[in-house]
Amino acid sequence: MKRTVFRGGTLFDAVSLTAESADIAVENGWIVDVGSGLDGDEEVDCTGRGVLPGLIDCHVHLTMTGSDVVESAQQPFSLQFYEGARNMAKTLAAGVTTVRDAAGADLGMRVAQERGLIPGPRMQISLNMLSQTGGHGDPWWPSTCVLDLLPPHPGRPPVIVDGPEEIRRKIRELVRAGADVIKVATSGGVVSSGAGPRIPHFRDDEISMMVTEAAAAGLHVMAHAHGEGAKAAVRNGVRSIEHGHFLDDETLAMMAERGTWLVPTLSAGVGLRQAIESGVPYPEHIVEKIQAPSESSVRRAVDAGVRIAMGTDAPLYPHGENLLELELLVEHGLSPADALHAATLSAAELMGLEATLGSLTPGKRADLVVVDGDPLDVHDLGKRVLAVYQDGRAVHVADRDPVS
């Protein structure tokens, strides 16, 4: 059995939130030792470089490309899967070795990655997002046409539901189709024809049914949620709040008490504003929602003791540029080490993967990201990724395998 030593790098310790020089020994895809002067059959020289655990993005949409919803809805149905393969490769090359897909990817994409048919991050999938009639995921538009960014197919069930019993059946359909997590919109959103973020969706009995039925299958619920919709989601036991604008003190206190995670997706707002500036032809009512004053709750959430995990909402900011989120988290009150923790051990804990991912610890998968310079400097970190290893195998080396 070949033993590879990654020698002399400055390792980010996601447990202590520090970075120190050490070697990492890897065998058969797993970390077997961390220390000084380790022996091996092969050596990777990491002197003068930082080494991070494989990064984790808890909110992506791999089958979506770009932020022009009208243009995307006019593409051939199967194109999403080819673009998804490219987006997976871009994400992996950015140092993101694991993702939670928040609607879009189906079981076939996950299995293709697991079998090595296509390069990409390992993934948990939600398939699609539960929405009430007229909610954030309802593809109906006022013109009475349907503009569905996630059209249903045998591997991605339709998800417009009303009432607890419809929800019970739908979650069972999603589980049958391979969902690893249940996604719901408990408030309105920005890039949809319906209500804005401050309007709550679904009632308590409906959200409670989602959590109960998901739990029966051993799954958690992630909620696209803002304001009062987030409060209802937390009150009824969801695992994480995605985006999470307009969270009041009561909601944040409940989140801290119950251990509910916040996945802020700060990159999404940057991407949407850039899309408007570049001339993407959003309908006026969507432009108004994008440009409306909004308040990120990250700084107050940190102060309240809410746990933060990294998520980007790519492609609202492009796939492959996921690490901008780390800089934005720092701008919103996290230390660089805490931002890295949000993208490593915190994210692994949110996804229930902390036993095998999230830190450079013996007994965990050998997902490693080698970066130029100090690993605790998150500024332009995405541009400093030199090599990415997944299960101990090099899956990206800068300037050798560019992803176009």
Summarised one tens digit per residue, pLDDT across range 317-369 is 999 999 999 999 999 999 999 999 999 999 999 999 999 999 999 999 999 99
Confirm whether 91 is domain-assigned.
yes
Q: Is 194's pLDDT higher than 80?
A: no
- Token pair for residue 77? 């149905």
Structure tokens at 307: 């746990």
Same domain? For 177 and 297 the reply is yes
8 A C-beta contact, residue 51 and residue 93? no
Q: Kindly state whether residues 177 and 308 are assigned to the same domain.
A: yes
Indicate whether 204 and 258 sit together in one domain. Answer: yes
105 vs 155: CA distance, rounded Å:
9
Whether 315 maps to a domain, the answer reads yes
Residues 6+ apart with CB under 8 A from 371: 49, 50, 51, 52, 95, 381, 384, 385, 386
Q: What is the mean pLDDT of the chain?
A: 93
Tokens read off for 105 = 């990817």
Residues 193 and 322 in one domain: yes
**Residue 93 covered by a domain:** yes
**pLDDT at residue 281 in the model:** 72
Paired tokens of 153: 């197919």
Residues 108, 218, single domain; the answer is: yes
Phi, psi of 192 (to 5 degrees): -155, 165
| Residue 19, SS3 per DSSP | strand
160 in the same domain as 16: no
pLDDT band of residue 285 (cuts 50, 70, 90) is low
Asked whether residue 323 is domain-assigned, the answer is yes
Please state, in angstroms and rounded to a whole number, the distance separating the CA atoms of residues 35 and 307. 30
- Portion of the chain with pLDDT greater than 90, in percent: 82
> Strand, helix or coil at 246?
coil
Tell how strand 307-308 and strand 3-13 pair up. unpaired
DSSP string, 122-176: EEEE--SEEB-TTSTT--B-TTS-B--SS--BTTB---B--SHHHHHHHHHHHHH
Inter-CA distances, 158 with 60, 86, 127, 175, 198, Å: 19, 25, 10, 13, 25
**pLDDT: is 284 or 262 the higher one?**
262
pTM: 0.95
Is residue 326 in some structural domain? yes
Same domain assignment for residues 341 and 365: no
Burial status of residue 250 (CB atoms within 10 A of its CB: 0-12, 13-18, 19 or more): exposed
Q: Is residue 119 part of a domain?
A: yes
| Residues written for the chain | 404
Position 355 in a domain:
no
Q: Give residue 27's identity as a one-letter amino acid code.
A: E
The answer on 246 and 183 residing in a single domain is yes
Cβ atoms of 297 and 262 within 8 Å: the answer is: yes
Looking at residue 293, its pLDDT comes to: 60
Residue 404 has pLDDT above 50, yes or no: no
- For range 3-18, the mean pLDDT: 97
CATH classification at residue 377: 2.30.40.10
Query: What CATH number is given to the structural domain containing 251?
Result: 3.20.20.140
Residue 181, by phi and psi: left (phi above 0), alpha (psi -120 to 50) or beta?
beta
Tell me if 403 is assigned to some domain.
Answer: no
Residue 289 to residue 291: CA distance in whole angstroms: 5
Residues 60 and 43 in one domain: no
Instruction: Give per-residue pLDDT as tens, 224-240.
Output: 999 999 999 999 999 99
* Residue 47 reports pLDDT greater than 70: yes
Strands, DSSP E only, in 28-71? 30-35, 42-45, 49-53, 55-60
Distance CA 113, CA 85 (A): 9
Structural domain that includes position 19:
3-53+360-397
7/137 same-domain check = no
The C-alpha atoms of residue 336 and residue 14 are separated, in whole angstroms, by 12
Average pLDDT over residues 57-68: 91
Task: Rounding to the nearest 10 degrees, give the CA dihedral for residues 81, 262, 346, 312.
Answer: 30
Do 218 and 120 share a structural domain?
Answer: yes
Specify whether 346 is located in the same domain as 258.
yes
User: Domain total for the chain?
Assistant: 2
